Structure 1
Amino acid sequence: MKKTLSLLLLLTLIFIPARAADVQDVKPTKNVILFISDGTSLATVSTARWLQWYSHSDKPNLNIDPYICGTVRTHSSNAPIGDSAPTTSCYVSGQPSQTGFVSTYPVNCGNDDIYPTDPNRAYQPTMTLLEAVKMFKGGSTGLVFTCEFPHATPADCSAHSYNRGKYEWIAPQMVHNNLDVVIGGGVSILSDDMEKYLKDNGYSVYRNDLKGMRADTNNKMWALYADREMSYDLDRNPDEQPSIEEMTKKAIEKLSKNDKGFFLMVEGSKVDWAAHANDPVGMATDFLAFDRAVGAALEFAKQNGETTVIVTADHGNSGISIGRESCKGYDKLTKDQLFKNLSQFKLTAEGFAKKVNTIPNSEVQSLFREQAGFELTKEELDALNNCKDYKFSPIPEAERHEKSQASMYSNSLSGLMSQIITSRTCMGFTTHGHTGEEVFLASYHPQGDRPMGMHTNIELNHYMCSLYGFEPSFLSDMSNKYFARHTDVFQDYTCEIIPAKEGEVAPTLIVKNKKDKKKQLTIHAFTNVVKAGKKADQDIILNSVVVYVDKNNTFYLPESLVDFLK
C-alpha cells in the first residue's frame, strides 16, 4: 500500500505543470502562438459561451475551455487598470508601461509606480519577444489582427513609441521590422513607399484582395483589408474579408515552413471595440470568431508537437454582466429569456448603424424585423430621427434636437444602436472604458508545462521567454544593446541632428568621424536602413529599427553601429 501511494505521489509530482515563475522547469518549444482577445473580461467569455450553446445545443464548450489554466493580473506600470498599449507591451517585453506607451520604457512616477522603474531609461524602446525570435533564433514572425495594423496590440509586438496614436512613427517601423506575415486591416495606412519597400524585399502585398491572399505561396506576405479596421465577424462580407480563423490558418501555413521555428501573435481586436460601445452582440460574436481561430491553432499544435499556444486578454472592458438591476427578476429568467433575443441579432450595433444609413427611412422597421426580430418603439424611432449621424431622417438636420424626447438614448448612431440592442437583453454594463479585473488564461504545451494559477503580466512574459530558452532578463539586456542612446554610442564622434523637412516625420542624425571625413553615417528614424559614407550611398541593413524620441531628442539604435565609423 505504501509503495502504491509513493508511486502515485511521484506521478503527481511529475505531471504538476510549472508555474510561469518556475521558468527553469519549462521545456522549450520551437513555435509559440500568442492569442490576445482585446478588452475581454471573463463575463464576456461566459456570455459568448452561453450564446454558442443556446444557438448550437451540441456545442456547450468553447475551444479554449479544456485549456483554461488560470488568470493574469494585467496592469500598467503606474495604474491597476491597463491600456492595450502597455499591457500587451508587457506580455511581449516583460516591462509594464504607461497608458499609450507601445513597447517603450515608462517615465518614473515615484510612489505611483507599481514596481520600481529606472528614471534613466524613460522612453527607451523595449525589445519584444517577436523581435528577439527574429534576431536571435532565426525564426519567422507574424501578426494577425482585425484592427488597422499600427493599432496598439500589433504595434506592441513590432514597434516602439510613447504615443500609440502616432501611426506615422509606428507604421514604418512595422514595415521595416521585416515581419514575415502580416494579415489584418489598414489598407489606407500602407503608403506607396512602404509597399515598395516590402515588394523590393521579396514580399507579396495584397490590398483588399482575398483571392490573391488565398492563392499566395510566398513565405513573406502582407495582406490588408478595409481602409482602417476590418468588419466585425457578424457584419463581415465573406467574399471580401477573411475570418480571423482563416487568417490564422494562412499565417501558420507560411510561418511553419521555417525549420527554426516561429512566433505568431493573433489579436481578436474588436471585442474591445464592441465593449467600448457596450454592444453585447459584437462582443460575444467576435469572441466566438476568435475562439474558432484558437481552435485552428490548437489543432495545428497537437499535430505539430513543437508548438505552444497561449490564449489571454490584455485587460477587461465595460464591466459587462449577465443580468442587470433594471431587468427585474433577471436572476430567475430561463435561458430562453436571457439569450433568445441575443441570438436573434444578425448584425452588430455598428452593422445596424451602417445599414440604416444605406436604406430609406421607410425600410427601417423592416430591417429590424428581419435582422433583430422586433420593431423599434415610437421613442426609439424618435431618437433615430433626431440622431445627428442619421442620413435619412425625415427631420432636417437643423431642426433635430440634441436630446430628443427619448433623451435616455445616445445621440450617436452606433451608440443608439448599442442601447437599442442592450435594452432587448438583460445584459448590464458599468462603463464604456477599461476595467481592472484579472483576465482569463488558457494554454497548450506539448509536454504539459503550462502556467497554472494566477500570474502577473510580467510572469507571463517570462514563461514565453523560457519557451525559446531566453532568460527572464534577456529582453531587457538586449534593449540596452540594440536601443542605446545615440549620445552614448557616438560619444567620441560628431553628431548633428538635422530638423525634419516638409513631408518627413522625424529629424535625421548625421554622425561624422572627426579624423576620417569619409566615414559618416546618415541615420533616419523608424527604419532599418542606415546610410554610410560622405555621399550616403552605401546601405547598412539592421536587424532592428532605429527609433527617434522627440521628448528627449534622442535616437535609439544598436551599439554596433559605431563600428562603421572606426
Structure 2
Amino acid sequence: MKKTICSLLLILSCSLVWSQQYHRPVKPVKNVIVMIPDGTSIGVVSAARWYQIYNKLGGENLNIDPYMCGTVKTFSSNAPIGDSAPTTSAYMTGMPQRTGNVAIYPVADPENDLVKVDPSMAYQPLVTILEAAKIQKKKAVGMVVTVEFPHATPADCSSHYYARGKYEYIAPQIAYNNLDVMFGGGNSIVTDDMKNHFKKNNTTLIQDDINAFRSFDGDNKVWALFQEKELPYDLDRDDSKIPSIEEMTRKAIDHLSENDNGFFLMVEGSKVDWVAHGNDAVGCITEYLAFDKAVGAAIEFAKKDGETAVIVLPDHGNSGFTIGRRDLKSYDKATIHDLFANVSKYKRTGEGLERILLQEKPEDFKAIFKKYTDIDLTEEELASLLSSNNYKEADYMKKAESQNMGHAIVDIMNSRTYFGFTTGGHTGEEVFLAAYHPQGDVPLGMNTNVQINHYLSDVLGLKESLPEMTKEVFAKHQEVFSGLNCTIDKSTAFPQLTVKKGKKTLIVPAFKSVAYMNGKEIDLGSVTVYIDKNDTFYLPANLIEQLN
C-alpha cells in the first residue's frame, strides 16, 4: 500500500512539473517569426548536419542547433499521422483538424477523435495567429514559401475551407487578407480579380522578375511570385532567376520590420516534404540546408533587434528517412566518408536530373548521368531510364511495368548511398522544436500542436483569445442578420449574399474582404467564407451596423 501511494505521489509530482512547463510566463515581443520545414523528420536534420560537416559548408552545427528546446506531437483531430493542412492549422488556430481542413473546425468523428470535438461547430472558420496579429495587434504580416502561395501551409495561415485543394476559394482569401508580404510561387493562380484588388489596396505585384524583386524598396505591400506553381528544389535552382528561401526571408524581414507595431512572418521550407515523398536523399538534405540558412537569417535579425522571437518546427514527419539501412553491413564501422561521399557528388535532385535527361538523346544518357552524379550507369540502369513512362518504351510489352524517369533516377542515386526510407508518405513521430526569445521564454519539453498555438498567442501578446475573435470575425450570417431578408446567389463565380433592409441593400461576395452597400464598396477588415455544406456565410458580426 505504501509503495502504491509513493508511486502515485511520484506520478502526481511529474504531472505537475509537466503541466507547469507549458504554463511558464511568456513575455510578449514585437515581432514573431514562425518557420516550418514541411515534412522534415529528425533523420533529415541529422543527415543534413553530417553532410554539412563532411563538405565543410559552415561548421559542425546547423543554425537550429543552439536553439533546440523540445519536441512537438503533431496530429489531426481524428488521426495520429497528420497532413500539412490540419497540422499547421492546429498551430495557427489551436484546434486539431481533419485531413484536408484549412483553418476550419473539424466535423466530429466520435469513434476516432483524439480531442474533444463539438459537432455543432463543424465547418466554422477559425481565426488564425496571422489574422490575429493583423487585426488585433495591427502588425504587418507576411509569408515566404517555396510552393504555390495557396498550398496547404500558407493557406492554413491566411484562409479557411474544408478542402485544401480548392485553390479557387483559397487563393482569393489570401489576396484579400491584404498581406504586407507574399513571396513564393504560383503565378498561374493569380486572377484578374486579384490583380485589380492589388491595385486598389496599393500592393505591388512582381511576377518572374528577380531584378524587380531584389530592387524593391517601396513602403507599400508586395507580392513577388516566381514560376507557374512551385519553385524548383534548391539544388536545381537558377540563382539568376529564382531567389533562395534565405534571400526571400531576408527581404521579407527588411520590409515587414518597417511597421512600428511589429510583424508576424511565416516561412515555410515547403519542398522538404515534396522531396521526402519522392524518397530523394540528396534532395531531402540540400532542401533542408537551404531552409536552415533562412533560419540563420531570422536568428541573426532577432538577436540584433532584441524584440523578436523565432519558432522553428516541422508540421509532421515524412518518409521515415534514416542514415543507414539493412544492406549496410558493419554499420557501426561505416565512416563518414562511407556514408556521405557519394551523395556529396550529386549536383541535381532526381527531378532536376530528369528534366535534363528528358531533353537529351539516349546515347548521351550515360555521359550526362556521370556529369551530374559521378555514377557510371549499368546497362540495366540505362534500360530502366529509357523505358520510363514519360520518355519512351524500350519494349511495348513492358509498358505497364514501367515508371516515370524521376523514380528510376532516384532509385539509381539512392543505391549508391546508405540512406533508407520506410514510406513515401507522412509519418507520425514527434518533430523537433527550436526557439529563440530575447528573454529566453521558450517552450520546453514535449509540446502538443495545440500548446504551440497557445505559446504563439502568448508571445504575440494577444489580449483577446482566438475563440473570442472567431465569434466576432466569423459569425454565421443567419445570426448576424436574424429577421432580415437574406438570399444567396450561387450562379456567380463566388457565391454572393444579399441582405435587404428598407432602402438599404448589402451585397457580400464570398472569399473576399469587401462588401457593397447600395453599390458602394466597403472594407470588412477580414475575409468572408461561404460553406456549401451548411449553406452559410461566415462574416464579421458587426456587419449588421451597416444596415442600421
TM norm structure 1: 0.91
Classify the secondary structure of the residue corresponding to 1:293.
helix
Classify the secondary structure of the residue corresponding to 1:90.
helix
Within 5 Å, give how 1:462-481 maps onto structure 2: 462-470=454-462, 474-481=465-472
Within 5 Å, give how 1:184-203 maps onto structure 2: 184-203=184-203
Q: CA–CA distance in 2 between the matches of 1:72 and 1:58?
A: 28
1:295 aligns with 2:290: no
TM norm structure 2: 0.94
Match for residue 558 of structure 1 among 530, 540, 546: 540
**Which residue number in structure 2 is paired with residue 531 of structure 1?**
516
- Native 8 Å contact 2:387 2:393 kept in 1: no
- Native 8 Å contact 2:143 2:182 kept in 1: yes
1:520 aligns with 2:508: no
Q: Deviations over 1:372-409 (max 9, x none)?
A: 0112211111111111112xx4848x5653326xxxxx
Seen in structure 2, the aligned counterparts of structure 1 residues 17 and 57 have a Cα distance that, compared at 3 Å, is: farther
Q: CA–CA distance in 1 between the matches of 2:154 and 2:434?
A: 20
**Which residue number in structure 2 is paired with residue 547 of structure 1?**
529
Partner amino acid, structure 1, of 2:452: L
Partner amino acid, structure 2, of 1:459: Q
Within 5 Å, give how 1:171-182 maps onto structure 2: 171-182=171-182
Within 5 Å, give how 1:238-317 maps onto structure 2: 238-317=239-318
Classify the secondary structure of the residue corresponding to 1:234.
helix
Classify the secondary structure of the residue corresponding to 1:75.
coil
1:495 aligns with 2:477: no
- Native 8 Å contact 2:105 2:122 kept in 1: yes
Q: CA–CA distance in 1 between the matches of 2:484 and 2:58?
A: 70
**Which residue number in structure 2 is paired with residue 224 of structure 1?**
225
**Which residue number in structure 1 is paired with residue 438 of structure 2?**
446
Per the TM alignment, residue 17 of structure 1 is displaced from its structure 2 partner at its CA by: 13
**Which residue number in structure 2 is paired with residue 10 of structure 1?**
none
Per the TM alignment, residue 327 of structure 1 is displaced from its structure 2 partner at its CA by: 3.2
Seen in structure 2, the aligned counterparts of structure 1 residues 241 and 168 have a Cα distance that, compared at 3 Å, is: same
Seen in structure 2, the aligned counterparts of structure 1 residues 165 and 57 have a Cα distance that, compared at 3 Å, is: closer
- Native 8 Å contact 2:208 2:225 kept in 1: yes
1:403 aligns with 2:401: yes
Q: CA–CA distance in 1 between the matches of 2:241 and 2:491?
A: 39
Per the TM alignment, residue 64 of structure 1 is displaced from its structure 2 partner at its CA by: 0.5
**Which residue number in structure 1 is paired with residue 3 of structure 2?**
none
Q: Deviations over 1:21-64 (max 9, x none)?
A: 215x1011000000000000011100111111111175211000
Q: CA–CA distance in 1 between the matches of 2:506 and 2:87?
A: 36
Give runs of ≥4 in structure 1 deviating > 4 Å.
16-20
Q: CA–CA distance in 2 between the matches of 1:58 and 1:184?
A: 26
Seen in structure 2, the aligned counterparts of structure 1 residues 215 and 20 have a Cα distance that, compared at 3 Å, is: farther
Q: CA–CA distance in 2 between the matches of 1:329 and 1:363?
A: 37
Per the TM alignment, residue 416 of structure 1 is displaced from its structure 2 partner at its CA by: 1.5
**Which residue number in structure 2 is paired with residue 166 of structure 1?**
166
Seen in structure 2, the aligned counterparts of structure 1 residues 561 and 202 have a Cα distance that, compared at 3 Å, is: same
Q: CA–CA distance in 2 between the matches of 1:549 and 1:17?
A: 40
- Native 8 Å contact 1:209 1:240 kept in 2: yes
Q: CA–CA distance in 2 between the matches of 1:18 and 1:116?
A: 19
Task: Output the aligned Cα RMSD.
Answer: 1.6
1:211 aligns with 2:211: yes
Classify the secondary structure of the residue corresponding to 2:294.
helix
Within 5 Å, give how 1:286-365 maps onto structure 2: 286-365=287-366
Within 5 Å, give how 1:383-394 maps onto structure 2: 383-390=384-391, 393=392
Q: CA–CA distance in 2 between the matches of 1:271 and 1:109?
A: 31
Partner amino acid, structure 2, of 1:510: T
Partner amino acid, structure 1, of 2:425: G
- Native 8 Å contact 2:365 2:382 kept in 1: no
Classify the secondary structure of the residue corresponding to 2:408.
helix
**Which residue number in structure 2 is paired with residue 434 of structure 1?**
426
Per the TM alignment, residue 237 of structure 1 is displaced from its structure 2 partner at its CA by: 0.3
- Native 8 Å contact 2:48 2:288 kept in 1: yes
Q: Deviations over 1:468-516 (max 9, x none)?
A: 2226x71111112111111111112111111223xx1x32111111xx1
Q: Deviations over 1:169-198 (max 9, x none)?
A: 000000000000000011111112212211
Q: Report the identity percentage.
A: 51
Partner amino acid, structure 2, of 1:263: F
Q: CA–CA distance in 2 between the matches of 1:412 and 1:283?
A: 20
Q: CA–CA distance in 2 between the matches of 1:243 and 1:310?
A: 20
Per the TM alignment, residue 330 of structure 1 is displaced from its structure 2 partner at its CA by: 3.3
**Which residue number in structure 1 is paired with residue 85 of structure 2?**
85
Q: CA–CA distance in 2 between the matches of 1:96 and 1:121?
A: 13
Classify the secondary structure of the residue corresponding to 2:234.
coil
Q: CA–CA distance in 1 between the matches of 2:540 and 2:165?
A: 25
- Native 8 Å contact 2:235 2:348 kept in 1: yes
Per the TM alignment, residue 412 of structure 1 is displaced from its structure 2 partner at its CA by: 1.6
Per the TM alignment, residue 324 of structure 1 is displaced from its structure 2 partner at its CA by: 0.8
Q: CA–CA distance in 1 between the matches of 2:119 and 2:455?
A: 27
Q: CA–CA distance in 1 between the matches of 2:20 and 2:316?
A: 21
Per the TM alignment, residue 227 of structure 1 is displaced from its structure 2 partner at its CA by: 0.5
Partner amino acid, structure 2, of 1:189: I
Partner amino acid, structure 2, of 1:110: P
Q: CA–CA distance in 2 between the matches of 1:122 and 1:467?
A: 29
Q: CA–CA distance in 2 between the matches of 1:436 and 1:389?
A: 33
- Native 8 Å contact 2:72 2:448 kept in 1: yes
Partner amino acid, structure 1, of 2:476: R
- Native 8 Å contact 2:383 2:394 kept in 1: no
Q: Deviations over 1:92-146 (max 9, x none)?
A: 1111101010001000111311110111110011100110111011100000000
Seen in structure 2, the aligned counterparts of structure 1 residues 57 and 194 have a Cα distance that, compared at 3 Å, is: closer
Seen in structure 2, the aligned counterparts of structure 1 residues 227 and 97 have a Cα distance that, compared at 3 Å, is: same
- Native 8 Å contact 2:22 2:444 kept in 1: no
**Which residue number in structure 1 is paired with residue 135 of structure 2?**
135
- Gap regions ≥5 residues in structure 1: 1-15, 405-410
Q: CA–CA distance in 1 between the matches of 2:406 and 2:525?
A: 43
Between 1:491-500 and 1:248-257, the stretch displaced more is 491-500
- Native 8 Å contact 1:19 1:451 kept in 2: no
Seen in structure 2, the aligned counterparts of structure 1 residues 481 and 531 have a Cα distance that, compared at 3 Å, is: same
Q: Figure out how many residues of one structure are paired with residues of the other and give that number.
A: 531
- Native 8 Å contact 1:44 1:320 kept in 2: yes
Q: CA–CA distance in 2 between the matches of 1:313 and 1:430?
A: 19
Per the TM alignment, residue 360 of structure 1 is displaced from its structure 2 partner at its CA by: 1.6
Partner amino acid, structure 2, of 1:403: E
Classify the secondary structure of the residue corresponding to 2:313.
strand
- Native 8 Å contact 1:21 1:462 kept in 2: no
- Native 8 Å contact 2:73 2:431 kept in 1: yes
Partner amino acid, structure 1, of 2:440: G
- Native 8 Å contact 1:17 1:451 kept in 2: no
Q: CA–CA distance in 1 between the matches of 2:376 and 2:448?
A: 47
**Which residue number in structure 2 is paired with residue 73 of structure 1?**
73
Per the TM alignment, residue 429 of structure 1 is displaced from its structure 2 partner at its CA by: 0.7
**Which residue number in structure 1 is paired with residue 118 of structure 2?**
118
- Native 8 Å contact 2:366 2:382 kept in 1: no
